Structure 1
Amino acid sequence: MPLQEQTSLWSDTTIKMLDEYSGTLQTGSVLRETELTSNVLLLAYGGEGELTMNGEVCHIGASFAGHVVKGTSLTLTARSDDIYYIVIMYKASSMEGASLVLPSYRKHPLRTSFVQNSVTQAEWIENAEKIVAKWRRGEGMERFHANALLQGMIYELIMDYERGQGGEASDMVDVVASYIAAHYRRNLELKELAALAGCSLRQLQRRFKQEKQLGLTEYVIQLRMESASRMLRHTDAPIGEIADRMGYRDMYYFSRAFKKYYGVPPLRYRLDAASKTDIDYAHSLQRNRTASSYESAQGSVICHMRGEYYVIGSPKRIAVLDVQYADHLLALGLSPAGSVGLGNAVLHFPQTIRAGLQNTELLGTYEYPDLLAVERLSPDLIICTEVHEPHYEQLSRIAPVLMFKRNENWQTILTLFGELTGKREEAKRIIADYHRRTTLLSEELAPVLAGKSVALIRPLDSLVRVHSASHRTGAVLYHDLGLPVPSFVADTSDTAYHISVDRLPAVHASHYFLLSHELMQEGISATEQRVWGMLDTVERQHIHSVDAATWIGCYGPTGINGIVDQIAQALLA
């Protein structure tokens, strides 16, 4: 989703008050609402009691504020002393002509029922009473002011709520799922999980099944089997060692459990997976029409965004207009004749691959390639991305051109480079080594990150980009290494979600990998300084500043393995 569209989702949202009422609950009395027809802001103070929403019971203190979404059934019970309450009904909608879609991250606050205990009684109640008083006057400007005050109150409540997420008040399913993900390799007692969630076992089982579509035991088995499957496919660890890692002391019991889950015993699964790898990869290449290859009577043919390239012989002088392609060639033991570099005033190659490019001509930058330098180079082949579409005709007059999407999977590109240069086996080995390494590191990191999450963030001019698993660097963290995703972005299908710096605490990650442009800008930007200041002292110990240019731009085997190195160093320190 484009940045402008994402940032407008909040600014185009308006709050409209619908109605209100208030009263006093005497001890033992009950306020009951069934299937609310609008969102509700509920504020109360006085005695202690219980607030039940859709069957879930929450103990409330002497004062609290609650946000209750449309369709919820609630019951407020006064247990000791009287409770004075105010109910304000409202709806959230978009301004005329604006998108009706709310921001898509998980548990969006305007779609979530939650309670904030121990709110500042005087301030909140005073503001609520002012809203009610203005609303009851029924005058245009007074009701306009009531809506403005209500919007401010909802903002404050949301900010308090998001700052409080990730601590003791976190959703029980998130807490338990995170704990299981870190400890599924050992025997877990269901009573232990219920105690962790702070509820009864029956309540936990019902909520967990509702959210995960799996029971607790089934969820543990799924994590064990998926991890075992990955080790069988990408490592040569003995079956007994894998069984032990997954928490099975008896290898034969593990084999029976694995066969029940996958339909074949572990050894057969490993053998079948090895034979299917090349076939599956060939099929995936065939389905990708803009980055694939096939065999013809004339030899290998590489499909790219602008057509097909017949590999008659391995090109000797290759010019690459993206640093990641230089990385691919170096990984295969080759060096490009020319490559674009990094930087603005002073151009250079990334530190990770600089030594291998000593005899490589500099061809400008990715955004601004030096076409005259490319022409002087007299290459046999030019490899570029869709960004260089405006230069395609001019480049084609110099040499044959291969054009790929810049965000194409690096393993796909490496495989095609292997076809192009006669280094097929080397490409396969590099990919297999990567999978083996990340599989083993994933096992090592899992217990270290028990109950924690890892965020990938990038400060922009005035916002912060929070990357998801759909982003190609995010995929290294969340897919290849299996690091826990913050619930804030867990369900988004976009590559990133954009938020203001003030709302950064809502991400609630234990570790932040901050993509910094400090090296490119020769200093930290004002937004990046605000990011550091926004996270509290405890969280600041877990901010890992990394170079955005290498983490985002140098997307080849060396660069990716360098990212994995930095992740391991940061999280295992």
Structure 2
Amino acid sequence: MDMILQQNEHLGLWSHAFIRISHMEKLSLRPGAQGVSVAFPASGFFCISGGSALMLLNNRVYSPNGMHIFHVPPHSRMELNAGADGLDCSIVLYEAELDSRTPADLKEEMQKCNPFHAAYHYAPAQQGMVFTLLEQMFELWGDVQPQAGMRLKGLAYQWISYVVEQYHTGQEPQKTISPVQLVTMAMEYMLDHYANPLTLETLAAAVGLSPGHLSNRFKQVLNRGPIDCLIRLRMEKACRLLEETKLPLKPIAASVGYQDVYYFSNAFKKHVGCSPTRYRQQWTARDLHSAQDNVTSEGGRYPIVEAHPRDYTDNNYYYQLVDGGSEEMFKNTKMVPASLLIAFGLLLGACGNGSTEVTTGGAGNGAQTQAEATAPAKETGGSTGAATRVVSTAKGDVEVPANPERVVTDFYLGYLLALDVKPVGTNKMFLENPYLIDQVEGIVDVSDNLEAILELEPDLIVTGSADQYEAYTKIAPTVFIENGDDVREQTKQLSIILGKEAKAEAWLQEFEEQLAEAKERVGKIIKEGEKVTVFDGGIAKNNSLYGSAYTGRTFHGHLGLPMNEKVARDIDPAVGWLSLSNEMITQYAGDYIFMAVSADKETFDYAGDPIWSTLEAVQENRLYEIDGYRFYFSDPISVTGQIRDITEMLEARAAE
């Protein structure tokens, strides 16, 4: 869990600290690289300079994209999975000690929240200086000249100052732009550029969206696409010019974005119901009374620009929509400004289109249109057709669909599939889970791409990312589930959210039966009193040793295989693992060893290594290499598969 650091105390403690850089290292991961383990024996900074990743850090999953900085507590372990664009990152480990003259109040603050042991992260707003100084530090780190150490120390203080200050100055949460705000931005752009050649692509680029995303937002807010709105705007402008000027058709067409007069005339007739020439003749010939029976009149239409235009922040204006029906279109900041709706002909009384027929004069008398008769019915939260439930989550009560049909999840794919819920989108890493590979056809890779999620039109989002939660809530009802180790409890929790309690009970019963059978089979091989140890790394200078979490979860947690007493004593349960040098493995090795290796199935000659060859487990052929990637996942389907793999692996070796 990230700590909350107060700026003054945080900066004050750093100011009174002696800092020594103890290690610096760069990593570059190929696209799609999986399960790369990084150990932090001391406090440090993990700096991403390019690419993207899905990473696990001390029981929390993060998905940074682009430049990002993490402050990592000592004795932490990070697992990295590179995105499609790979990952470039740096590690800076340091040691910090407070000056003896540090004020007592600051020392008290340190007891409450130690900034050198705190976990926090952010995307730096001013990236240039941070990463420029970091590069200079790397140059000095490799310099053997005596003066390099002093220069490195000076740069380190400067760099940490930038990093810590930007952490605090950048803590204002990013505002997520709502669909209504996006539509308003695009409409304002059209209003300024309608005379220019515009396409869906140029409109989307102007507001920083994809064409599909922009179209979806317009249909969501206005029930029509952006190009339809652009045509309406151009026709409204053309109507004004035909009414108020004697300009020929060619310059009128050009002034509203049409270089071809013939094409303009056809578009005008299709939208208004008559040709531009006929429209001008009718406007000129008719007085106020005759206009009420025809296309439009001073009393029968709104002016394109009101005499007293309403401010964009008018919060309680009721609109008469061209789609029919008086309703409060948007409330508070979620309104599309009235002046924009008028300018685009989206309120009654505009010069109209071919499918809208004004049957009475003024807009204030409840005028009805053909559009109103054909508009689809919309269910509201209070309608009898709306089927929702309220569920309690770590973020409070959330109203969710009773039977969600288009679920998106970032980290809980295996849980959803176990409950017979096939999501429409999830993270690529989980799509490649070997235990799920035959069940994921048709599921879209969205990672944490908000635009990709929007295009799937989900009715529910299930997330384990506290950082993305607020952004997801702008798209669909969102449920936040904290990442935990207990597969049973998380399955129950998700079943309540998804309305799959019966399925969860059936799975739990089957799981317990399979687990009991596996324990019985494993118990015939691993005898009472024999110990099991789970390592990661192969024959390496440093290895990771697991307790009952991470890769050791299924071995010690579910199957209950006993660990070496020293393992149980030395591993902090809150951390779940321990980094140790190759020379120390003899102190922790059990009668059976399971070694997690990289996903490319590399193998090691343990019997030929001077240290590993001394272990009884190696001598008795009781060291088993496992695919670390397969044992990364902790969902119900993966855990069931891991239990099966362990059981079959032991039985196969015993039968040799």
TM-score range, shorter chain: 0.3 to 0.5
- The TM-score, its normalising length taken from structure 1, stands at 0.42
Larger relative contact order (C-alpha < 8 A, sep ≥ 6)? Answer: 1
- The TM-score, its normalising length taken from structure 2, stands at 0.37
Largest Rg, 1 or 2: 2
Structure with more of its chain in helix, by fraction: 1
Structure with more of its chain in strand, by fraction: 1
